[in-house]
Amino acid sequence: MAIATINPATGETLKTFTPLTNVEIETKLALAQSTFEQYRHTTFAQKSQWLNQAADILEKDKLKFAQIMTTEMGKTLQSAIAEVEKCAKVCRFYAKKAPEFLADVSIPSDASQSYIAYQPLGIILAVMPWNFPFWQVFRFAAPALMAGNVGILKHASNVPQCALAIQLILDQAGFPSGAFQTLLIGASQVKPIIEDNRVKAATLTGSEPAGAALASAAGQQIKKVVLELGGSDPFIVLESADLEEAVATAVKARMLNNGQSCIAAKRFIVAESIAERFKEQLLAQFQALTIGDPMTKSTDIGPLATASILTELDQQVQEAIKQGATVLLGGKPLTDRPGNYYPPTILTNISVDSATAQEEFFGPVALLFTVKNIDQAIALANHIPFGLGASAWTNNVQQSKRLVSEIEAGAVFINGMVKSDPRLPFGGIKRSGYGRELSSQGIHEFVNIKTVWIK
């Protein structure tokens, strides 16, 4: 895949980039290593100052950064602005909380003094996706830099200007020039980097195949990896739920980022007694969404990020129809305009054992299921290879307890939309990956948790 900015709203190639050579990669790795030797001793106060300055830059120029995101991957400008603001928040969060999260922890033992110390590892490789091109990077960079590590970024090949902008933000904020570097490289150039002895660990957000490839390469080197992969999150609505609020949230949860989010609600599992009302309201609200230019404020749904994503999503929908699914709305790419546009789509009458029910649909396609009771709802929610997030709607306390206890996922939200929050750990189980980002758990993933015993 070429490293290029291709506007998904028009299909126009705006800018292309030449991948780094092996010599250029070596220069950047050498700089990262030499920077780490000094940077690891930087005080929390200094790192916090730099990270707060990065937040200042993000907030000051949020429209400029949002426009880069929208141009490169098609998210609506309003959602891109919100993403930049969220990046500033995660910077401020770790600038404040890292000293607490990484403070020595005294543990009574048979020693005169014993404690846990948290120390940096070195160079951390981040392989990041295009769908949240600023947020995914900053939620890695903020804790990694505060822990005293240095970062190298291999971003998705369709968001190179986002990748370069992020490095520039951190440089301008005051971080040493080798503390965070963007590497404009192809996927084939990642394996030699993870094999380099100077690179101590890696994190990847992306597809299952990409995660498996990185984990395999890192495993050969006995190196730590955090993986945040796909999801087909259930959105369960039971009889006691506030139906109107559930439907309104369902629309937001499925259409987030033009439907291109790992934690978007994808499978809507609804109690039989309210299923018809839910379906009617969901259909009406999907029909009311405005599809168009993502730069326009009134647009609800912009284009998919690439032409290949559009093709793949359409192939999934057509295969679902062959397997017996019914199309309530949408179901075909929009051909009345340039760009990668796919309309809000609802599929029903899906066999729970079909391939369709097991797959992740990365676009504005909702799969609608009906169940008789909470037992069936939980069983269906778990009947997939993924386990990232889940949203469930009920005002019955006992049902809430069962949903929290029995749903197999890294996060369960009751009467709310699944979202990431710097204060709470984020990650999945099963084929959705392992390890955690954010909160104290996220910053502890890439440190040496060292036992110290003194007599």
CB 118 within 8 A of CB 447: yes
Q: What percent of the chain has pLDDT over 90?
A: 100
Alpha helix stretches (DSSP H) within 117-159: 135-146
For 22-60, the DSSP string reads HHHHHHHHHHHHHHHHHHTT--HHHHHHHHHHHHHHHHH
- Half-sphere exposure of 384 toward its Cβ, with a 13 Å CA cutoff? 32
| 228 in active site | yes
Determine the pLDDT at residue 51: 99
Q: What is the phi/psi pair of residue 63, to 5°?
A: -65, -45
Q: How would residue 319 be classed by pLDDT, with cut points 50, 70 and 90?
A: very high
Both tokens of 62, joined, read: 């949020």
Per-residue pLDDT tens over the stretch 265-283:
999 999 999 999 999 999 9
CA distances from 286 to 300, 315, 361 (A): 10, 21, 17
What is the per-residue pLDDT for 42? Answer: 98
Mutual angle of helices 77-101 and 44-60, in 10-degree steps: 170
- R_g (Cα) of the chain, nearest Å: 23
262 belongs to the catalytic site:
yes
- Identity at 62, one-letter amino acid code: K
Q: CB neighbours of 305 closer than 8 A, spacing ≥ 6?
A: 8, 73, 74, 130, 131, 158, 258, 260, 340
Q: What is the DSSP string of 270-305?
A: EEHHHHHHHHHHHHHHHHTPPBS-TTSTT-SB---S
- The CA-atom distances, in angstroms, between 115 and each of 42, 97, 203, 236 are 22, 20, 28, 44
Pairing of strands 233-237, 389-393: parallel
pLDDT digits (tens, 9 = 90+) for 134-155: 999 999 999 999 999 999 999 9
Q: What angle do CA 75, 76, 79 make, to 5 degrees?
A: 90
pLDDT at 179 over 80: yes
> Which residue, among 209, 180, 246, 207, has the nearest Cα to 392 in the 3D structure?
246
Residue 121 confidence (pLDDT): 99
Question: If you search the block for the tokens 């204060």, which residue do you land on?
Answer: 423
Exposed e or buried b for every residue in 2-41, given b needs 16+ CB within 10 A? ebbbbbbbeeeeeeeeebbeeeebeebbebbbebbeebee
| Alpha carbon separation from 64 to 58, 68, 88, 111 (Å, rounded) | 9, 7, 14, 56
At 31, give phi and psi (nearest 5°): -65, -40
With respect to CATH, is domain 233-414 assigned 3.40.309.10?
yes
* Segment 414-444, tens digit of pLDDT: 999 999 999 999 999 999 999 999 999 999 9
Closest CA to 426 of 93, 44, 56, 64: 93
Check: pTM over 0.85? Answer yes or no: yes
Amino acid at 161: Q
Q: How confident is the model at residue 452 (pLDDT cuts 50, 70, 90)?
A: very high
Average pLDDT score, the chain: 98
Q: How high is the pLDDT of residue 411?
A: 98
Token digits of residue 317 = 């929908």
Q: Which of 87, 91, 162, 262 is catalytic?
A: 262
In the chain, residues under CATH classification 3.40.309.10 are 233-414
Q: How confident is the model at residue 70 (pLDDT cuts 50, 70, 90)?
A: very high
305 pLDDT exceeds 90? yes
Are the beta carbons of 253 and 268 closer than 8 angstroms? Answer: no
**Closest by alpha carbon to 101, among 454, 453, 455, 436?**
436
Given a cut of 90, is residue 1 above it in pLDDT? no
The dihedral over CA atoms of 196, 201, 203, 207, expressed in degrees to the nearest 10, equals: 50
Question: Using one digit for the tens of pLDDT, what is the confidence trace for 21-57?
Answer: 999 999 999 999 999 999 999 999 999 999 999 999 9
One-letter amino acid at 301 equals I
Candidates 72, 228, 360, 437; catalytic one: 228
CA distances from 424 to 90, 97, 443 (A): 11, 13, 12
302's tokens: 């912009």
CATH architecture of the domain 3-229+432-454 equals: 3-Layer(aba) Sandwich (3.40)
pLDDT at 351: 96
Tens-digit pLDDT profile for residues 184-205: 999 999 999 999 999 999 999 9
- Asked if 334 and 290 touch (Cβ cutoff 8 Å), the reply is no
CATH 3.40.605.10 residue ranges of the chain are 3-229+432-454
